[in-house]
């Protein structure tokens, strides 16, 4: 076997690097924004960004996405579930066909977001949320960068399955 067949091609190395950069980038942006919010705002403080449509509202979320709670031990239960889901997403990312680029990007976004919220649960037994979007006084539940990455990744992943060529 020659050395060339054992090494990855340049395009494949670039794809692996880009796919590894996505979760690392999401994780870094998520943790940086949460650190900034914790240092700059007081709990439950609201700062308008775009009028009353987009604002920063600092809260602690012990439940799951969008404040879903299952009682006293929500944070621990969701930590375990998020860790299991992250392992599954990592497996899917590592085994996804290299030509399924959008699927791999989607999984990388989901992984980065999940890891961002897992870190919060380990460090503080809750997640820092701060992005609030709404219209005419009706607001979507407060979320963070990690939640955004998971949601965008899930949408892209659904897209890849819904519109995949079925041969």
Q: Is the pLDDT of residue 5 over 50?
A: no
pTM for the model stands at: 0.83
- % helix, strand, coil for the chain, step of 5: 60, 15, 25
Nearest CA to 142 among 127, 124, 129?
129
Q: Is the pLDDT of residue 14 over 60?
A: no
Q: Answer yes or no: is 21 within a domain.
A: no
Which range marks the domain in which residue 115 is found? 40-162
Above pLDDT 90, what percent of the chain?
62
Q: Answer yes or no: is 17 within a domain.
A: no
Given the residues 30, 52, 120, 129, the one annotated as active site: 129
Return d(Cα 62, Cα 89) in angstroms, integer: 23
Q: Is 2 a catalytic residue?
A: no
Q: Which pLDDT value is given to residue 35?
A: 97
Given the residues 52, 147, 165, 167, the one annotated as active site: 147
Q: Answer yes or no: is 146 within a domain.
A: yes
Q: Answer yes or no: is 47 within a domain.
A: yes
Q: Answer yes or no: is 152 within a domain.
A: yes
Q: Is the pLDDT of residue 1 over 50?
A: no
Asked if 57 and 37 touch (Cβ cutoff 8 Å), the reply is no
Which SS3 state, helix, strand or coil, does residue 109 take? Answer: helix
Q: Answer yes or no: is 155 within a domain.
A: yes
The token pair that represents 39 in the structure block: 């240092």
Number of structural domains the chain divides into: 1
Q: How many CB atoms lie within 10 A of CB 15?
A: 17
Q: Answer yes or no: is 111 within a domain.
A: yes
Q: Answer yes or no: is 2 within a domain.
A: no
Q: Is 165 a catalytic residue?
A: no
Asked if 82 and 121 touch (Cβ cutoff 8 Å), the reply is yes
């Amino acid at each position: 076997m020659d050395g060339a067949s054992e090494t990855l091609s340049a395009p494949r190395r670039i794809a692996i690097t880009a796919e590894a950069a996505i979760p690392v980038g999401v994780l870094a942006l998520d943790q940086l924004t949460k650190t900034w919010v914790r240092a700059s705002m007081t709990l439950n403080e609201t700062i308008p960004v775009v009028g009353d449509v987009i604002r920063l509202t600092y809260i602690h979320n012990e439940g799951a996405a969008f404040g879903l709670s299952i009682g006293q031990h929500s944070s621990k239960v969701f930590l375990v579930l998020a860790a299991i889901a992250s392992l599954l997403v990592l497996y899917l990312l590592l085994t996804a066909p290299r030509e399924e680029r959008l699927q791999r990007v989607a999984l990388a976004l989901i992984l980065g977001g999940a890891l961002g919220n897992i870190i919060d649960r380990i460090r503080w037994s809750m997640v820092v949320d701060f992005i609030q979007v709404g219209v005419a006084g009706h607001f979507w539940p407060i979320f963070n960068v990690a939640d955004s990455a998971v949601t965008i990744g899930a949408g892209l992943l659904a897209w890849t399955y819904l519109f995949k060529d079925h041969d």
